[in-house]
Amino acid sequence: MYVGTEASSGGGAAWELEQRRLSATDEDQARGMFFQGSLHVIAYLGGDGAVARCKGVAGVWEINPFHLYSVSRYLRMVSTAARLLGPQLNGFEGVLGRMGSQATNDFLASLFGRQLLAEAAGSPRMLLDSLGDAYRMAVSYGERYPLWTGERSARFIMRRDFMPAAYHEGVLRGALEAVGARDVRVSGRQVALLDSEYELSWR
């Protein structure tokens, strides 16, 4: 059984993000829109100084939203931001959830995201069925798919994904709300370092 430390303390979460980073290869990449979205959160909460520090740690200064960048750089940025901003957002998980929500906003505003919303046609079920393909347009790694547990509930599976459950809780909640789902509930858990599952329900 996987035993994580993300819910326990900032230090534990930082250690686990580093383990994720060390598991990444050069081929594991994410689009620049996610870097930009996280930097928007960092700028809003921490100002220009925090932005400069996070960019420096990641080694990324000029960001093209559609270019693919190493996810290890993104993990460096997120880990640094979570340490800096944690006191304002109830710790690491609060920062990760906020960044996940921002990631959804930025993706849905892109050409890829607008296509996803058009195909979903306001249906949470159609959205979740298409979400795995949407992820493949945004990142180069991992596998994601829903297992249906009811008409308005599902277990969403993520395999070999580098972001923690708290981040993807924000992603999934934002995606469901974007197609009109109400009373959205998302509860994630890590089942291995890079594997997680999410219980979803809505009205």
Task: Please write the tens of the pLDDT for every residue from 67-96.
Answer: 999 999 999 999 999 989 888 887 888 888
- Read off the pLDDT of residues 84-143 as tens digits, 9 standing for 90 and up: 988 888 788 888 889 999 999 998 998 889 999 999 999 999 999 999 998 998 999 999
What is the structure's pLDDT at 88? 84
Buried b (16+ CB within 10 A) or exposed e, 33-60: bbbebbbebbeebbeeebbebbbeebeb
Percent above pLDDT 70 for the chain: 94
* CATH architecture assigned to 123-201: 2-Layer Sandwich (3.30)
DSSP assignment letter at 200: E
pLDDT grade for 4, boundaries at 50, 70 and 90: low
Residues of the chain with CATH 3.30.70: 123-201
Overall pTM surpassing 0.85 (yes/no): yes
Let me know: does 43 contact 50? Beta carbons within 8 Å: yes
Let me know: does 135 contact 144? Beta carbons within 8 Å: yes
pLDDT grade for 5, boundaries at 50, 70 and 90: very low
pLDDT grade for 15, boundaries at 50, 70 and 90: confident
What is the identity of the amino acid at 94? G
Q: For the chain, what is the radius of gyration of the CA atoms? A: 16
Cα dist from 108 to 35, 57, 64, 85, 162, whole Å: 15, 27, 17, 25, 21
Phi-psi region at 73: left, alpha or beta (left = phi > 0; alpha = psi -120 to 50): alpha
Q: What is the dihedral of CA 126, 144, 156, 97, to 10 degrees?
A: -100
